[in-house]
């Protein structure tokens, strides 16, 4: 019975090792030195198990078993040495690899000696078991095995100092399982028999190989030891399912045999055997599903739902327009989802600079290294995974230097930047991970471009504000510097016109009049520019007070009266007695501007009328300036209050100007909590209306009328 159990156990271990060896060599896996070493060690271990089982068969001839033991000892030594070299590869330590190279030839000599009578001289049967007689070199052979076990331990300890991430986990998984199984095998198969001269423990010496098989499968599935994760998990599922079914069958066989004397389950036992087989077939699928869930929970703990990840990632891309915040949030989401130790973006900006941002304490990729990688991408143009590159590839060393396992370029017409992922926390980056990352790459590029554009607009706006501020300062300084000499020139011209410096002829008077008029226009232009600059920078100071509307209008009329008299335009005012809340100086500026415009566009003999009324609905006073001038075309009304806009009247412009007067009036009135509008018809004149808030609600006490015509002023009060 024990013999059947031992053979069954060894067969299961051998099949698992051979399946793993074959799977590791598939899909060009044979090009990887680690895969070749493991396949060799697995085949040798299978021969070890076969020869071990043969040596336990007492019915075989003595000489045949002796040859079998020679093969057993040589194959055992070679298998252990192959596993030692596998550990050296996983440790990836140059000093340890050099040590293995230097001790290889003595170990191979000991391996060859193991196949000679110097280690096993003869084999004989005792208590239904073959017992070997050891030769004179058995202890050097054992010391060689102990030395190799020490090499495994040394390789693990020394390699763990330098290995990181996935390589470190692979080394722990494989090396620990190998070390434990080797120690138990050597104790049960060699040390205890030699020390006690009892070979009863030899029968159990193959069981520890199950520890090795489990650690290898765990390393493959969990830590990407040979990149055959899916196949291994499914194989393990089926092996476990079939093992349970076989166990159930033999269990039922034992129960039936004990319950019904003389009845056993066999193919010839028709109805009973058929029922048991049907039961086993019915429970196979539930058992398989059970082991599917079990293996997935163990080996696929890093599984994630791509749809949910896409939804979260898209929400992040639309949550902010700040570049660093966007990259940080995106990196944290990617790192959390795909189980990366770090994640960061390296983005080229418009001005040939770059920005890097990602998870906390991510690697800082120098620009020189980024340019080297960009040169590689110009040739490969694909995702680069460091472990997939050749060991002597400079790109692999460059990536591992910064703790980067995967780099993906972000392409549009050119390389926008890179997404860099650190070492995988639990396993490796699968093809599914890479597909998911490629899917989000296009969306990331669009979001990054949008963010870069927004930041560029922000920078442009900042530059414009700085330029605008510089312009305001220039206008203010230039205005003050220009106004002083213009005032002096105008004063000098006025002295000459009044002949205070001597007589002036008619031609000279005409020139002086022209100079005076143009100097005044230039001063008005400077004043308009200064006012506009103050309005734009919100530096215009307002001084509100409750002032009589009639008084404000009359004071403005007095300042422009002479112009109207000289041109022969009648100016009249009719209004209500009311106080308005306004800035008197700014009110005067507004009204004089409107009166100046009416004066310019009204021919001699025409009239300009000022009226004021009260609107009780919104508690405002409305002032209207109406002229009998040329009027304004309907298509020009839309630009009337815009800066630097002038209205073309028929075939020529009726007067010169900067186009700032009405724009300044509009902004001043709005600052004073009023509003302005106009009505006009070509050939019939124009009316300009503006409102001012009333200081205190009043009743109309009367009306005042002022008439100015040919130098006469009439004021009637009711």
- Which pLDDT tens digit goes with each residue over 97-123? 888 888 888 899 998 988 888 888 888
Q: Which long-range contacts (CB under 8 A, 24 or more apart) does 290-296 make?
A: 291/236, 291/237, 291/240, 291/241, 292/237, 295/221, 295/233, 295/236, 295/237, 296/233
Total number of residues shown for the chain: 718
Q: Residue 542 is encoded by which pair of tokens?
A: 């307002």
Per-residue model confidence (pLDDT) at position 712: 35
Confidence of residue 331 (pLDDT cuts 50, 70, 90): very high
Which of 550, 578, 547, 575 has the alpha carbon at shortest distance from 697?
Answer: 578
Per-residue model confidence (pLDDT) at position 300: 55
Q: DSSP 3-state helix, strand, coil percentages of the chain (rounded to 5)?
A: 60, 15, 25
Work out the number of other CB atoms within 10 angstroms of the CB of residue 102: 9
Mean pLDDT of 679-695: 91
pTM: 0.43
Which of 290, 286, 263, 287 has the alpha carbon at shortest distance from 275?
Answer: 263
CA 208 – CA 183 distance, rounded (Å): 9
Listed in order, strand segments (DSSP E) in 39-99 are none
pLDDT tens, 135-146?
888 889 889 989
CA 224 – CA 168 distance, rounded (Å): 12
Mean pLDDT of 510-516: 81
CA 707 – CA 716 distance, rounded (Å): 9
Work out the number of other CB atoms within 10 angstroms of the CB of residue 705: 13
Coil/strand/helix, residue 260:
coil
188: Cβ contacts below 8 Å, ≥ 6 apart:
201, 202, 204, 205, 208
601: Cβ contacts below 8 Å, ≥ 6 apart:
627, 629, 630, 649, 654, 655, 686
CA 466 – CA 266 distance, rounded (Å): 96
Confidence of residue 483 (pLDDT cuts 50, 70, 90): low
CA 326 – CA 452 distance, rounded (Å): 11
pLDDT tens, 290-329?
766 666 555 555 567 788 888 898 888 888 888 888 899 9
Output the CA torsion sign for 499, 502, 506, 512.
negative
pLDDT tens, 243-267?
776 677 667 666 666 665 554 544 4
Per-residue model confidence (pLDDT) at position 234: 59
CA 301 – CA 232 distance, rounded (Å): 16
Confidence of residue 693 (pLDDT cuts 50, 70, 90): very high
The 712-717 sheet, strands edge to edge: 676-681, 685-693, 620-627, 607-615, 570-576, 703-709, 712-717
CA 133 – CA 121 distance, rounded (Å): 6
Mean pLDDT of 84-94: 81
pLDDT tens, 443-468?
888 888 787 777 677 777 777 777 76
Angle at 660 between CA 657 and CA 661, to 5 degrees: 85
Per-residue model confidence (pLDDT) at position 649: 43
Confidence of residue 438 (pLDDT cuts 50, 70, 90): confident
Q: Residue 562 is encoded by which pair of tokens?
A: 């002479």
Q: Say yes or no to pLDDT of 83 above 80.
A: yes
CA 490 – CA 479 distance, rounded (Å): 16
Mean pLDDT of 636-642: 80
Mean pLDDT of 63-78: 88
Q: Which of the 8 DSSP states describes residue 638? A: G
Q: Are strands 685-693 and 415-422 parallel, antiparallel or unpaired?
A: unpaired
CA 369 – CA 346 distance, rounded (Å): 11
**3-state per-residue secondary structure call for 469-530:** HHHHHHHHHHHHHHHHHHHHHHHHHHHHHCCCCCCCCHHHHHHHHHHHHHHHHHHHHHHHHH
pLDDT tens, 137-191?
888 988 998 999 888 888 888 777 766 666 677 778 788 888 888 888 888 877 8
Q: How far apart are the first and last CA of the chain?
A: 136
According to DSSP, the residues that pair with 691 across neighbouring strands are 622
Name the percent of the chain lying above pLDDT 70.
74
Per-residue model confidence (pLDDT) at position 647: 54
Q: Say yes or no to pLDDT of 656 above 70.
A: no
Q: Greater confidence, 483 or 91?
A: 91
Q: Say yes or no to pLDDT of 38 above 50.
A: yes
CA 93 – CA 154 distance, rounded (Å): 11
Q: Greater confidence, 47 or 651?
A: 47
Q: Which of the 8 DSSP states describes residue 224? A: -
Task: Indicate the burial class of 278 (C-beta count within 10 angstroms; 0-12, 13-18, 19 or more).
Answer: exposed
Angle at 571 between CA 567 and CA 574, to 5 degrees: 180
Which of 227, 209, 207, 215 has the alpha carbon at shortest distance from 172?
Answer: 215
Q: Greater confidence, 563 or 247?
A: 563
Name the least confident of 242-256, 352-366, 559-573.
242-256
Please provide residue 424's backbone torsions phi and psi, each rounded to the nearest 5 degrees: -70, 135
Coil/strand/helix, residue 652:
strand
Task: Indicate the burial class of 79 (C-beta count within 10 angstroms; 0-12, 13-18, 19 or more).
Answer: buried
2: Cβ contacts below 8 Å, ≥ 6 apart:
203
Confidence of residue 696 (pLDDT cuts 50, 70, 90): low
CA 152 – CA 275 distance, rounded (Å): 51
Q: Say yes or no to pLDDT of 651 above 50.
A: no
Which of 337, 90, 336 has the alpha carbon at shortest distance from 216?
Answer: 90
Task: Indicate the burial class of 114 (C-beta count within 10 angstroms; 0-12, 13-18, 19 or more).
Answer: buried
């Amino acid at each position: 019975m024990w013999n059947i159990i031992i053979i069954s156990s060894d067969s299961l271990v051998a099949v698992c090792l051979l399946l793993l060896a074959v799977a590791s060599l598939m899909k060009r896996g044979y090009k990887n030195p680690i895969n070749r070493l493991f396949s060799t060690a697995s085949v040798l271990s299978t021969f070890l198990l076969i020869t071990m089982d043969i040596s336990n068969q007492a019915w075989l001839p003595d000489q045949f078993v002796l040859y079998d033991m020679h093969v057993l000892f040589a194959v055992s030594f070679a298998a252990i040495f192959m596993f030692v070299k596998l550990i050296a590869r996983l440790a990836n330590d140059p000093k340890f690899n050099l040590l293995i190279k230097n001790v290889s030839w003595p170990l191979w000599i000991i391996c060859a000696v193991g196949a000679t009578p110097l280690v096993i001289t003869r084999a004989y049967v005792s208590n239904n078991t073959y017992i070997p007689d050891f030769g004179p070199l058995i202890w050097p052979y054992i010391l060689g095995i102990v030395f190799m076990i020490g090499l495994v331990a040394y390789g693990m300890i020394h390699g763990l100092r330098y290995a990181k991430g996935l390589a470190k986990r692979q080394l722990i998984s494989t090396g620990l399982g190998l070390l434990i199984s080797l120690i138990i095998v050597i104790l049960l198969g060699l040390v205890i028999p030699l020390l006690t001269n009892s070979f009863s423990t030899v029968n159990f010496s193959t069981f520890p190989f199950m520890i090795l098989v489990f650690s290898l499968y765990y390393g493959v599935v969990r830590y990407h030891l040979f990149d055959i994760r899916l196949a291994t998990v499914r194989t393990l599922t089926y092996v476990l399912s079939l093992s349970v079914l076989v166990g159930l069958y033999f269990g039922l066989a034992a129960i039936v045999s004990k319950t019904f004397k003389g009845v056993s389950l066999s193919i010839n036992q028709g109805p009973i055997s058929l029922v048991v087989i049907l039961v086993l077939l019915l429970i196979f699928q539930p058992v398989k599903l059970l082991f599917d869930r079990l293996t997935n929970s163990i080996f696929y703990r890093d599984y994630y739902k791509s749809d949910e990840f896409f939804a979260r990632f898209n929400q992040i891309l639309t949550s902010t327009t700040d570049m660093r915040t966007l990259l940080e949030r995106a990196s944290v989401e990617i790192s959390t989802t795909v189980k990366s130790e770090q994640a960061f973006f390296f983005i080229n900006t418009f001005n040939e600079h770059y920005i890097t941002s990602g998870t906390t304490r991510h690697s800082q990729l120098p620009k020189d290294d980024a340019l080297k990688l960009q040169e590689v991408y110009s040739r490969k143009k694909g995702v680069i995974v460091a472990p997939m590159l050749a060991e002597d590839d400079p790109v692999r060393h460059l990536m591992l230097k910064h703790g980067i396992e995967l780099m993906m370029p972000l392409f549009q017409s050119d390389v926008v930047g890179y997404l860099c992922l650190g070492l995988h926390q639990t396993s490796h980056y699968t093809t599914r991970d890479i597909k998911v990352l490629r899917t989000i790459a296009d969306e990331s590029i669009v979001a990054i471009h949008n963010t870069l554009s927004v930041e560029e607009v922000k920078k442009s706006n900042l530059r414009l504000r700085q330029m605008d501020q510089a312009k305001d300062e220039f206008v203010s300084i230039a205005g003050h510097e220009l106004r002083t000499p213009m005032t002096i020139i105008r004063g000098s011209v006025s002295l000459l016109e009044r002949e205070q410096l001597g007589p002036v002829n008619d031609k000279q008077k005409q020139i002086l009049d022209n100079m005076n008029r143009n100097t005044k226009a230039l001063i008005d232009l400077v004043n308009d520019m200064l006012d506009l600059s103050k309005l734009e920078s919100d530096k215009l100071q307002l001084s509100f007070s409750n002032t009589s509307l009639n008084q404000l209008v009359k004071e403005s009329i007095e300042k422009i009266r002479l112009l109207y008299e000289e041109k022969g335009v009648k100016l009249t005012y009719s209004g209500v007695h009311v106080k308005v809340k306004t800035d008197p100086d700014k009110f005067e500026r507004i009204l004089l501007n409107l009166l100046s415009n009416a004066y310019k566009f009204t021919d001699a003999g025409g009239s300009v009328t000022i009226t004021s009324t009260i609107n009780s609905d919104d508690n405002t006073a409305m002032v209207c300036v109406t002229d009998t001038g040329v009027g304004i075309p309907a298509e020009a009304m839309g630009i009337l209050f815009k800066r630097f806009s002038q209205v073309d009247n028929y075939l020529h412009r009726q007067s010169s100007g900067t186009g700032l007067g009405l724009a300044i009036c509009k902004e001043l009135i709005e600052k004073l909590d009023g509003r302005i509008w106009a009505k006009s018809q070509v050939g019939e004149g124009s009316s300009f209306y503006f409102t001012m808030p009333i200081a205190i609600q009043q009743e109309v006490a009367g009306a005042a009328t002022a008439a100015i015509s040919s130098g006469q002023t009439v004021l009637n009060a009711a």
